[in-house]
Structure 1
Amino acid sequence: MLFLFNDVVFDLGDLKSILQSDQLPLSPAQIESLNAAQLNGLVREAVFANPDIAHTRPDQVQYIMALISVVAPGANALLALRPAEAESAADVGLRYANVTITTLASLWRDQKDGHLTPNQINDQVWLAA
């Protein structure tokens, strides 16, 4: 499964393996009861603490994306931005999208080839959503 987190496309592979990992700080019961507001809070906290999380903590981002896939199964793209003047996690902006697999595959290929740009992502995902 491909998922776009900010400016990085990830291939998540098997979601169950990610969610059953002992590195995930949530129990299966907590994952099952997680709602959208709680998930948004987790994402905001992670991005507030590390605005470049997609590049510096891809393992943590994979857990977040797997959780999103469970709680909001239609979403396969997330734009999570911490403004420079952010004072708390509540200031982190979130935007979800459902991007076609062909678009994600094209972005994935361009990323692997070293040609993916933020402008390309903006044009193909966020301006099109």
Structure 2
Amino acid sequence: MLFLFNEAVFDLGDIVSVLKDGTIPLPAAQFETLTTGHLTLLLREALYVDPMMATNKPDRTKHLAALIAYRAPGANALLGVRPDGADGPDDVGLRFANVPLLILTYLWKHQNAGVLEPGTINEEVWNRVTENLHSAY
């Protein structure tokens, strides 16, 4: 499974395997009880601390992407933005989307070729997504 997290596309493979590899600091039983509100808070906190976490902490980001995909079926993209001057995690805006696999594959190939630009992501995903866009804010 491909997942777009801000500026990076991750190949999650089997999301359950990613979640149960022991790297994520949650017991497997908590995956089932994690609410959308808790997940949103976790994402806002992580992005407040490091808005570029997809680049700076890809392993942690991959686990968060797997958690999103597991707890929010259909979501395969996240745009998280910490505005300049943000006072805390509540200021981080989140958008979830269901992006067609064809577009994610296109982005994945560009990323692997080293030519994926933020403008391409915005043009192919965030400027096009309307009815499938889900805001968590």
Q: Measure how far apart 1:71 and its partner are.
A: 1.0
**Cα distance between partner residues in 1 of 2:8 and 2:69:** 16
**Cα distance between partner residues in 2 of 1:117 and 1:35:** 33
**Cα distance between partner residues in 2 of 1:107 and 1:27:** 32
Give 3-state SS (helix, strand or coil) of 2:39's partner. Answer: helix
Give 3-state SS (helix, strand or coil) of 1:85's partner. Answer: coil
**Aligned residue in 2 for 1:47:** 47
**Cα distance between partner residues in 1 of 2:123 and 2:97:** 13
Moved over 6 A (4+): none
- Percent identity, aligned pairs only, is 48
What is the TM-score when the length of structure 2 is the normalising length? 0.91
Amino acid at match of 1:60: R
| Unpaired runs of at least 5, structure 1 | none
What is the TM-score when the length of structure 1 is the normalising length? 0.97
Amino acid at match of 2:123: D
Q: Measure how far apart 1:17 and its partner are.
A: 1.5
Give 3-state SS (helix, strand or coil) of 1:116's partner. Answer: coil
**Cα distance between partner residues in 1 of 2:6 and 2:19:** 21
**Cα distance between partner residues in 2 of 1:23 and 1:113:** 28
Q: How many residues align?
A: 129
Q: CA RMSD in A?
A: 0.8
Q: Measure how far apart 1:67 and its partner are.
A: 0.6
Q: Measure how far apart 1:35 and its partner are.
A: 0.9
**Cα distance between partner residues in 1 of 2:32 and 2:61:** 19
Do residues 16 (structure 1) and 42 (structure 2) align?
A: no
Q: Deviations over 1:3-39 (max 9, x none)?
A: 0000111111121211112221111121100111110
Amino acid at match of 1:66: A
| Unpaired runs of at least 5, structure 2 | 130-137
